[in-house]
Amino acid sequence: MTLAACEQQAPNEPLENESGNQQISRPSLPIVEPPMNRSAILQAVAKAASAAALGRDDAAEQRSLDGDRFEVRIRFGCVAASGAGSAKGPFNVRFDEKERTLRLRATPDLDRSDANVAALGGEAVEAVEGFWMYRPWMLEAGCPATPAARTSRDEAALASETQADEATSTRKADTLSQAPTPASTVLRVGIAHFFTETDSRAGRRDRRAYEATKVLPEGGQPSRSGYDLALSGRLEPVPGRKIINCRVQGPNSPPECIVSAQLDRVRMEIPGTNEILSEWSN
């Protein structure tokens, strides 16, 4: 009987075909940057406002913003905020208890009727549509906290401090007269689309409000945390100017700043959920 042995490859003998063990280099996928949110936009505005207040030209610094995507939310309809649902303002929240119908309205309030906005756009701009942001000192969209009620002890302490201040005010009159006066102007930051004569008119609202209607179930109530108006698009400079343009109003007042952008999408959302009540796309 003859035994046939299979010839085995020596452990140290190199393989004839090692291509299967070679790592194939593949091109790396590009990293998609998330859109600038409210916080990022307002921080960029703070830098632009500081430059304007210092009299420094920041046009070169702002070029890096050109074309950046953004998604900014404006909270409105907060229960604790007085006038948040007033029909006289740009934002309105109404609820019909009998019909269980919730109606939301957001009317663009930044346009060429403002002389400063018209001057910023110049003759090259035919229309301006956008919003002044509620509470631009808040980096996140939300309802403001309600101040805690003062106790009798707090009132007594405040009265004592007031008397002490009045007692020293005469001695410090000369010093106080040289101190800067407090700012009397409210901080204003807006975001708007500047349309030229050559731009399409399809994306213009022409003063028409954004409106949403929803029938709530029995027992349901409007959100006590308000609603979000979400603005999305890309940053682009005002023709012949910058993306963030700030107007200095005085040495002790915050500059008024407007962010120029192409608004591609507008949504009304319920905060803290993924529910979109209504949306518009250009």
Q: Which residue matches tokens 């027992």? A: 219
**pLDDT tens for residues 189-236?**
999 999 998 888 877 888 899 999 999 999 899 999 999 999 999 999
Instruction: Tally the C-alpha atoms within 13 A of residue 121's C-alpha that lie toward its C-beta.
Output: 23
Q: Which residue matches tokens 């119908």? A: 101
DSSP, collapsed to helix, strand or coil, labels residue 249 as coil
Name residues whose C-beta falls within 8 Å of residue 113's C-beta, 6 or more positions apart in sequence: none
Q: What share of the chain has pLDDT > 70, as a percent?
A: 73
Cα radius of gyration (the chain) = 29
The bridge status of strand 227-235 relative to strand 256-269 is antiparallel
**pLDDT tens for residues 131-156?**
999 999 999 999 998 877 655 565 66
Could you give the C-alpha distances from 269 to 70, 87, 223, 224, 264, in angstroms and in order?
A: 17, 20, 11, 13, 16
pTM for the model = 0.75
Angle at alpha carbon of residue 267, lines to 226 and 39, rounded to 5°? 70
Tokens of 129: 């549509």
Q: How confident is the model at residue 186 (pLDDT cuts 50, 70, 90)?
A: confident
**Which of 246, 248, 250, 247 minimizes the C-alpha distance to 259?**
246
pLDDT of residue 35: 95
- Name the β-bridge partners of 263: 233
Calpha distance 180→251 (Å, rounded): 9
